Amino acid sequence: MEASPSDLIRAYAGSFVEDDYDVVNEEYFAELRATRDIVSDPSGWLDTYSRVQDSFSVRWPEGLDLQTYRVDDGGALRKSKEPIRKLLSAWEERDVHYDEFTLCGSATAGSLMALAMIRGLGIRTVVFESPAYYATLDQARLLDMRCVRIPTYVADGFRFDFARTWLASDPLALWITHPRVSLGLDQDPARCRELLGSLAPHDFLVVDEATEQRFPSLLRHVAHHDQVIRIRNLFKPMGLNGPRLCVIMHSRTMRNAAEFAAATFGGPLDCFSLELAAQSAADIESFRGFLSIANAQTTEARREAQRLLRGSGATLSELVNGYIGCAILDLQHRPGTREDNRRSFLEYCRSVRMPVILGSQMSFAFDPRYEHVRVNYFTRRENLKTGLLLIRDFLS
């Protein structure tokens, strides 16, 4: 028997705890963040370093026009988009057409635009793999879309199980991340092909690739499809958060919908980021090299971090791509309830002046045995080392 989206939402309601970032921050970390009186911030994004910035150089052209409003509409950006088109063609190992991608200012704007595009096609249900970006969940809800979250767990290697037959035949979008957010795991191309093949003709698969460091793209042979939308940030996977430029890849038939979404939902671009993207894209081998440098830095940091936690009762997600992973704290041998242990950990973190982001704030499914702590592997080495040793001390 087919279930409605509401039935599935109710069925999985107990699997998730709603985002409590604001509540936790206010009670435990607001003063620390306000005064910056912090010993370590392994989850954060302020004290970061990327090796790519040491190799990155920018030469601003004389007479750069600061007056013109930039939005990817029609052929307005054809000159700037051409080197980006060639970069994407190399990244995808096929000739990407000008009308197969649309530019916007950030991955967050990109997810909002993608939601607007599919909503315009009559899709009201979005099925999310977990963990997920909470910003995207909030955007979907604000657009009055039904959000179904499918839980995944440590014990199953965070395997994502979904069958189209679970839901009634109303159109839906299946939303996944690559690399998987807060885990750093690659999507399996064969599994993605299986998921795509299971969808009805009116469904969509959306792949948020905001932190993709693979070149060529791991999903290049799967995701070139009329029912696929992909969101990819050019600079975020390098650890460069100053320039703001995101690519939404879609079929040529979706170009008009993407243009409308760009004009309506925050698609304007700043000229500096657009110029930097065009310059960077023009040197494809250097761009490929920057992604490789970033991946080497983050995977090396993860290996060093795992050595620090060995034998501690905590492990790390097996990050191979991107820069956001998590520490997985095994709480089963600690006295008290799961909630008591969570509260105890937060009080400890406040006492040692280490703000953290927990699993509920990354849309992890509730797990009675484990707590998840966000780890940013672009965090400066000493900062990250201190934070992990503090986590080890808590578990000892």
What CATH number corresponds to the domain at position 151?
3.40.640.10
Q: What's the pLDDT at 14?
A: 58
| Identity at 220, one-letter amino acid code | R
The average confidence (pLDDT) of the chain is 91
User: Which residue, of 241, 257, 287, is where some domain finishes?
Assistant: 287
Say what the pLDDT of residue 335 is: 86
Looking at the structure, do residues 122 and 234 belong to the same domain, yes or no?
Answer: yes
Q: Are residues 306 and 268 in the same domain?
A: no
Q: Give residue 171's identity as a one-letter amino acid code.
A: P
Amino acid at 61: P
> What's the number of domains the chain is made of?
2
Kindly indicate the confidence band of residue 1, based on its pLDDT and cuts at 50, 70 and 90.
very low
Backbone angles phi and psi of 208, in degrees to 5: -85, 105
Q: Is the pLDDT of residue 318 over 50?
A: yes
Strands 125-129 and 228-233: unpaired
Check pLDDT > 60 for residue 293.
Answer: yes
pLDDT attached to residue 18: 81
Helix axes 78-92 and 284-309, enclosed angle (nearest 10):
60
- List the domain range (segments joined by +) for residue 242: 66-287
Helical H segments across 238-327, by residue range: 255-264, 271-282, 284-309
Question: How confident is the model at residue 47, as a pLDDT?
Answer: 85
User: How many other CB atoms are there within 10 angstroms of residue 5's CB atom?
Assistant: 20
Burial class (CB in 10 A: 0-12, 13-18, 19+), 239: buried
Task: Indicate whether 236 and 341 sit together in one domain.
Answer: no
Same domain, 132 and 264: yes
- Answer whether residue 59 is part of any domain: no
Does 26 share its domain with 127? no
Residues 265, 298 within the same domain: no
97 in the same domain as 42: no
Domain assignment of residue 60, yes or no: no
Give the domain-ending residue among 256, 287, 318: 287
Residue 93 lies in a domain: yes
Q: Examine the domain organization and report whether 34 and 83 are in the same domain.
A: no
Whether residue 194 is contained in a domain is answered as: yes
Confidence of residue 61 (pLDDT cuts 50, 70, 90): low
What's the mean pLDDT in 233-260?
A: 94
**Is residue 212 domain-shared with residue 74, that is, in the same domain?**
yes
pLDDT in tens, 26-55: 999 999 999 999 999 999 887 899 999 988
Spell 125-148 as b/e; 16+ CB within 10 A means b. bbbbbbbbbbebbebbeeeebbbb
pLDDT tens, position by position, 143-178: 999 999 999 999 999 998 887 666 667 899 999 999
Question: Which pLDDT score is estimated for 50?
Answer: 96
Query: Which of 43-52, 203-212, 377-386 has the weakest average pLDDT?
Result: 43-52
Do the domain assignments include residue 77?
Answer: yes
Start-to-end CA span in the chain (Å): 49
Residues 175 and 233 in one domain: yes
Between strands 125-129 and 314-316, the pairing is unpaired
The per-residue pLDDT for 15 is 85
Q: What is the pLDDT of residues 187-201, one digit of tens each?
A: 999 999 999 999 999
**Rounded to two decimals, what is the model's pTM?**
0.93
Residue 56 in any domain: the answer is no
Identify how many contiguous H helices and E strands the chain contains and give both numbers.
13, 10
Arithmetic mean of pLDDT, 112-136: 96
CA distances from 86 to 24, 142, 188, 273, 293 (A): 45, 35, 26, 18, 21
127 to 50, 139, 151, 163, 238: CA distances (angstroms): 34, 14, 11, 11, 29
What pLDDT was estimated at residue 2? 56
Dihedral angle computed from the Cα positions of residues 112, 116, 122 and 128, in that order, rounded to the nearest 10 degrees: -10
Q: How many CB atoms lie within 10 A of CB 191?
A: 13
273 shares its domain with 378: no
Percentage of the chain with pLDDT > 90? 75
Residue 198 lies in a domain: yes
Among 1-5, 205-209, 255-259, name the one with the lowest average pLDDT. 1-5
Which residue among 269, 287, 305 closes a domain? 287
Q: Is residue 55 situated within a structural domain? A: no
CATH (domain of 45): 3.90.1150.10
The pair of structure tokens assigned to 308 is 């620090």
Q: What percent of the chain has pLDDT over 70?
A: 92
Model confidence at 287, pLDDT cuts 50, 70, 90, reads very high
Residue 324 pLDDT > 70, yes or no?
yes
pLDDT value for 58: 73
Task: Clarify whether residues 171 and 277 are in a common domain.
Answer: yes
